[in-house]
Chain A
Amino acid sequence: MNKRRAILIFIPFAWLLIFFAVPLFMAFKISLSHSVTAIPPYAPTFGLSEGWAGFKDALSRLTLDNYRFLISDSLYLKAYLSSVGVALKATILTLLVGYPMAYGMARATPQTRMVLLFLVILPFWTSFLVRIYSWIGILSNEGMLNQLFMFLGLTDGPIKMLNTPFAIYIGIIYAYLPFMVLPLYATLEKMDLSLNEAAMDLGCSRPKAFWLVTVPLSLPGIVAGCFLVFIPAIGEFVIPTLLGGSSKLMIGKVLFEEFFSNRDWPLAAAVAVVLLLLLVVPIVLFQRSQEFEQNKELQR
């Protein structure tokens, strides 16, 4: 019995340690080395052949230079800040689009609800790349939207939408809308409608009852949805590259370019480590809120 249990624990544990924890540690270590023109393009490397002395020697050559550089070069600071800013704004916009949608879905008849739920989940399974790609054709200068505007006579020449921050926001909202709608729908759907009726019975107007009863009670869904959009949006790479062009600096893209174009691996690793540190706060907050909700469910 215990042997079986030990094997059951050991196999996935070992896999995740070797292929997830160790690589992260290596990234951290490489972020402390410096770039050289060699293969691999960083030094010092840790070899087992040099033994303990070699290890200590390599250890002494580790440096915080990459981090100093990240701070001194305003490019990176700007990229971090604008990533957080874009993610924050996009999250709020997604909430504004997603909330009425989830609310409407929760008020539909049970059969309709099943269909709508299916329709929200479907895009999630469809290729992310395809869905982002579909917006290129819409937002480009000769794209669908500009053709429509010109046809309606709203504008004479094409409005530049692709390769602007606007396109990035559209992309993030579009890609992450299901992540917002699903948790919102889950809380709104199980909400007791008689609470609203009670509020109105006690003299609230309909909007006031919504604001004082529905919104506070759906807060767990709002929190979950916002984290689920905000966290991946910060490190987003495909959307700013395909839709944003060079209009907005985002850290995921910087990391990618640092790594592949400049081949400065130590710096890329340092960028990743800082990005991770940046994400630790929202991730921990998210975990906390989820645990809190779970405990509340359990106590019920």
Chain B
Amino acid sequence: MNTQMSWVNKLSVTLGFMFLYVPMVIVVIYSFNKSKLVTIWGGWSIKWYGELARNEAFLSSAIISFKIALVVATLAVILGAMAAFVLVRAGRFWGRTLFSALIYAPLVMPPVITGLSMLLLFIGVNLDRGMNTIIIAQTTLAISFVAVVIASRLLSYDQALDEAALDLGATHFETFRLVTLPIIAPAVISGWLLAFSMSLDDLVIASFTSGPNATTLPLRLYSTVRSGVSPQINALSTIVIAIVSLGMLSAWLITVRSHRRMQANEGIAD
């Protein structure tokens, strides 16, 4: 197979990735800018990180966001995994079409609509808005994403594995705990991470469903950003980018390494 890239290919890939990454690189660089004027370079400094660390509002929002994201990711993984099993394994049942519609619709529904209608429900049943309502709303959205991730893993899952466990005397619960769950664990973990990062990132749904004591980080960030660029936001953005990059990079390296090890071992075994 010809895998040689022509210069056209190289150029388009390079330009495409520059487009994707230069804006983020600029934010990172300018977060170390000494000058208070965000567009003028005034030398290197980490003072904005210090100011960020002393910014009570941002800190408390970050804590709120993390708390919410933890609960949302965990709830969504449990419910999403159940939904995935229903989608892939439950066969036919009454309301199956409606069920899959309820799973797939939130994936494509504009968040403004989801957020608005959620809020109308919360007001309709007189639920005080705050962390709880954000958690419910974000979980509902995240269930669909988690379900899709886990369902696609379950589709390629060899059901003979479960049958083998039963055949060897395992109960249904043991089969799930000792065989199914460990094997689909990577999908469950990436579902959790996806739900976690979606929750941390969510602005639209949170703006509908949050209350006075539950200003999440994106809400705080948004209201600050509306009034323009600030070096503190650059620093905050850099931290976000760094965390995501490090997390993704380590996950990726683990996958690549296990992939390589598998290939190497196959070479030995045969």
Contact = CB atoms under 8 A, between A and B. Distances in A.
Direct contact of A and B (CB under 8 A): yes
A131 B90 CA distance: 40
Nearest to B106: A20
B10 A13 contact: no
Interface in A228-267: 231-232, 234-238, 241-242, 252, 255-256, 259-260, 265
Given A9-B93, A129-B203, A137 B9 contact: no
Interface residues of A, number: 87
B13 A144 contact: no
Interface stretch (B47-55, B180-188, B218-226): B218-226
B140 A20 contact: yes
B198 to A, nearest CB: 10
Given A108-B5, A144-B39, A5 B90 contact: yes
Given A12-B143, A272-B113, A137 B16 contact: no
B172 to A, nearest CB: 7
B95 A13 contact: yes
Contacts of A97: 16, 19
B204 interface: yes
B230 to A, nearest CB: 10
B245 interface: yes
B164 interface: no
Nearest to B228: A136
Interface stretch (B22-30, B56-64, B66-74): B22-30
A14 to B, nearest CB: 10
A101 B247 CA distance: 25
A252 B9 contact: no
A105 B204 contact: no
A268 B13 CA distance: 42
A24 B93 CA distance: 24
Nearest to A265: B120
Contact of A177 (B1, B20, B120): B20
A129 B222 contact: yes
Contact of B121 (A23, A107, A275): A23
A131 B116 contact: no
Contact of B110 (A4, A104, A136, A235): A235
A283 B113 CA distance: 15
Contacts of A126: 24, 240-241, 244-245
A108 B13 CA distance: 10
A101 B197 CA distance: 26
B54 to A, nearest CB: 21
B13 A272 contact: no
Nearest to A144: B26
A279 B218 CA distance: 26
B233 interface: yes
Given A13-B99, A21-B102, A123-B24, A143 B117 contact: no
Interface stretch (A51-59, A71-79, A112-120): A112-120
B124 interface: yes
A252 B248 contact: no
Contacts of B85: 8
A19 B121 contact: yes
B225 A4 contact: no
A135 interface: yes
B82 A12 contact: yes
B211 interface: no
A129 B225 contact: yes
Interface string B208-241: 1000000000100110011011000110110011
Nearest to A9: B86
A101 B13 contact: yes
A142 to B, nearest CB: 5
A283 B140 CA distance: 19
Question: Considering the complex of A and B, which 6 residue pairs feature the smallest CB-CB distances, nearest first?
Answer: A235-B110, A100-B12, A101-B16, A23-B117, A104-B9, A104-B13
24 contacts: A5-B93, A8-B90, A12-B79, A12-B80, A16-B99, A27-B116, A97-B19, A101-B12, A101-B15, A101-B17, A107-B4, A122-B245, A126-B241, A127-B241, A130-B24, A133-B221, A140-B39, A142-B39, A143-B39, A177-B20, A241-B226, A272-B116, A276-B113, A286-B108
